Amino acid sequence: MSTYPTRAHSLSASRYLQAIALTWVVLCTGCASWSWADAAAPSITVLVTYHSLSGNTERMAEAVVAGARSIAGTQVVMKRVGQVSAEDLFSADAVVVGSPVYWSNMSGEVKTFFDNWQFKFGVFPEFKMKNKVGAAFATAGQVSSGKEVTMLTILAAMLGNQMIVVGGGGAFGASATTEGESPGIDDKELAEAKALGQRVAEVTKLIRAGSSH
């Protein structure tokens, strides 16, 4: 019996080599768009949601969005609290909530948004918001008439949902005074809101990078 390769053997060997070459091309096409930096910096989604009747809190929300977007690999969804869906909430890695101060606390719309986490979105019993990052911002007519209470009650609702809350801008979040001697939102307040958005995105990336190892 001959030990030389037959024509049939040569054909199957060349097909084998073709398959290896094809696999190499496919793998290396994927490699070209991958880097160690990608592995260390997962992409994240930040939901920025707010209530605003006369536009002040909305301006702060836009600055929070700009700050979050300035961090590479950050997707941002910006919506009014009444427009947020269960999908928006559960697909976000971080949620930043803004409220005008109404009677020294968050407005009814923002409170209803949090109440809906249970009644509309069913966060319990699984604690579906657990370990997402949370933060707050607020606007108020007066200098000292409820901004910190408003941010703290927003953070308290997040803590009750086992979220990881962060400050930024100010100690409890970003805030602005909109009436009297300080009408509307000034550049310093916008910078504070932007700093909050940046910090939320940075901390969220750290947490996501840590949890993927």
Ligand X SMILES: Cc1cc2nc3c(=O)[nH]c(=O)nc-3n(C[C@H](O)[C@H](O)[C@H](O)COP(=O)(O)O)c2cc1C
Kindly list the residues in this chain that would bind ligand X in the complex (CB under 6 A): 52-58, 100-104, 139-142, 145-146, 178-179
Q: CB nearer to ligand X: give 134 or 146.
A: 146
Nearest to 134 by CA among 167, 86, 175, 105: 167
E strands, the chain, where?
44-50, 74-80, 94-102, 105-106, 133-140, 164-165, 174-177
- Tell the residue number behind the tokens 């009436």, with chain if given: 179
Of residues 56 and 204, the one with the C-beta less far from ligand X = 56
Q: How far is residue 9 CA from its own chain's centroid?
A: 58
In this structure, are residues 56 and 177 in contact, taking their beta carbons and an 8 Å threshold? no
Q: Report the chain's C-alpha Rg in angstroms.
A: 25
CB of 175 to ligand X, least distance (A): 10
Q: Does residue 125 have a cis peptide bond before it, meaning omega lies within 30 degrees of 0?
A: yes
Q: What count of other Cβ atoms lies within 10 Å of the Cβ of residue 131?
A: 13
Nearest approach in angstroms of CB 153 to ligand X is 13
Which of the 8 DSSP states describes residue 81?
G
Q: In whole angstroms, give the CA distance from residue 200 to residue 190.
A: 16
Q: How far is CA 192 from the centre of its chain?
A: 18
Of residues 51 and 205, the one with the C-beta less far from ligand X: 51
Which tokens is 114 given? 């949090």
Closest to ligand X by CB, 18 or 54: 54
Do 74 and 46 contact (CB within 8 A), yes or no?
A: yes
C-beta closer to ligand X: residue 5 or 108: 108
**CB of residue 127 vs ligand X: minimum separation in angstroms?**
30
Residue whose token pair is 């948004």: 113
Cβ-based nearer residue to ligand X, 54 or 91? 54
